[in-house]
């Protein structure tokens, strides 16, 4: 059973400024801001929500199919997908464009200045869900606005249950549009800030929104997560990581656990706990795709946290 991962593929360019932004930005001159930061440290990571989710789902033994758009500069990413055994049959290259890229500069206080170029992601609507007839489950993750709307419609029309996961793309949509997604999705997932924004935009409570889907998942960072399903709220504990290095991609790792559990028809406690384990594993590594664990090692993490085997 394949899971169709509709979302972004991106490069994350991460730079470190060995000082503090506040020492170089004068409040009284903010209206004519013109600053430059020397960043002697820089690394480039493979990222994007679809890439990260698929990477983690593959570690779990799932069968992810990525549906995304990339630019002329995507050769290294495409070769990586081949090396990982991830199909790129539904990864479309958009000629004359760059792959989506984030440029993140962090100072010594962990403040960040980020610029994001969507590039080829803006053409994600050119991909068609009907081109992936083997999919039995899907997710609509952050992507181009038109692509997210189209893929939700296509998945619903094909009768493929899917997770609505707008992430940082949520502000692109009005309350009516968000309700449109919720009424087509089988599941929906948000962090706590996004959940509050969803409630504000739609004028509905979480409990009311949960009635629109089979399960509404809200992640709470170090406080765990809540899954509203079956007429109740399932409290999922957080898993203590063995190190806290980088939160980039933790949400995507969590979602891979959700998708695996849903595909395996697990109950919500077990599904949520696997998702929590995947998030804890990820946060102990830099970047969204630099944790290299076997399925057996993931099971050991689960057993240490919950005193039972996941499979």
Dihedral Cα 102, 188, 62, 266, nearest 10 deg: 150
- Angle at the Cα of 66 (from 64 to 70), degrees rounded to 5? 160
User: Coil, helix or strand for 306?
Assistant: helix
Tokens of 33: 């801001």
Tens-of-pLDDT digits for all 311 residues of the chain? 799 999 999 999 989 999 999 998 888 878 888 889 999 989 999 999 999 999 999 999 999 999 999 999 999 999 999 999 999 999 999 999 999 999 989 888 878 888 999 999 999 999 999 999 999 999 999 999 999 999 999 999 999 999 999 998 999 999 999 999 999 999 999 999 999 999 999 999 999 999 999 999 999 999 999 999 999 999 999 999 999 988 889 999 999 999 999 999 999 999 999 999 999 999 999 999 999 999 999 999 999 999 999 99
Between CA 122 and CA 300 the distance in angstroms is 40
For the chain, the structural domain boundaries read 2-10+47-98+119-306
Spatial CA neighbour of 274 closest among 244, 254, 293, 304: 254
Decide: 40 and 262 in contact? Cβ < 8 Å. Answer: no
| Level-2 CATH architecture, domain 2-10+47-98+119-306 | 3-Layer(aba) Sandwich (3.40)
Q: Is 159 left (phi over 0), alpha (psi -120 to 50) or beta?
A: left
Strands of the 187-191 sheet, one edge to the other: 91-93, 64-70, 2-6, 135-140, 162-164, 187-191, 215-219, 225-229, 232-236
pLDDT, residue 34, reads 86
Q: What is the pLDDT of residue 30?
A: 80
What's the pLDDT score for residue 95? 98
Put simply, whether the predicted model's pTM sits higher than 0.85 gets the answer yes
Backbone φ, ψ for residue 261 (5° rounding): -60, -40
């Amino acid at each position: 059973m394949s899971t169709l991962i509709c979302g972004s593929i991106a490069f994350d360019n991460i730079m470190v400024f060995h000082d503090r932004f506040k020492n170089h930005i004068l409040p009284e001159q903010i209206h004519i801001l013109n600053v430059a930061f020397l960043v002697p440290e820089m690394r480039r990571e493979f990222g994007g929500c679809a890439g990260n989710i698929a990477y983690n789902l593959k570690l779990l033994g799932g069968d992810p199919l990525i549906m995304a758009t990339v630019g002329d500069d995507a050769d290294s990413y495409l070769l990586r997908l081949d090396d990982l055994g991830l199909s790129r049959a539904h990864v479309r290259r958009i000629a004359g464009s760059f792959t989506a890229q984030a440029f993140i500069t962090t100072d010594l206080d962990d403040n960040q200045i980020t610029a994001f170029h969507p590039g080829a992601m803006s053409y994600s609507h050119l991909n068609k869900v009907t081109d992936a007839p083997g999919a039995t489950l899907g997710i609509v993750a952050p992507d181009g606005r038109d692509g997210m709307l189209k893929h939700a419609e296509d998945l619903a029309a094909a009768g493929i249950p899917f997770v609505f996961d707008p992430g940082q793309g949520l502000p692109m949509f009005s309350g009516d549009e968000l309700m449109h997604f919720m009424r087509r999705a089988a599941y929906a997932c948000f962090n706590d800030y996004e959940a509050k924004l969803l409630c504000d935009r739609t004028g509905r409570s979480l409990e009311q929104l949960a009635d629109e889907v089979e399960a509404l998942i809200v992640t709470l960072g170090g406080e765990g997560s809540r899954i509203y399903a079956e007429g109740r709220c399932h409290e999922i504990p957080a898993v203590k990581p063995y190190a806290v290095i980088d939160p980039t991609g933790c949400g995507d790792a969590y979602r891979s656990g959700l998708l695996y559990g849903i595909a395996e028809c697990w109950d919500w406690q077990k599904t949520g706990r696997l998702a929590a384990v995947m998030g804890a594993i990820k946060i102990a590594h830099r970047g969204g795709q630099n944790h290299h664990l076997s399925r057996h090692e993931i099971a050991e993490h689960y057993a240490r946290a919950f005193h039972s085997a996941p499979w």
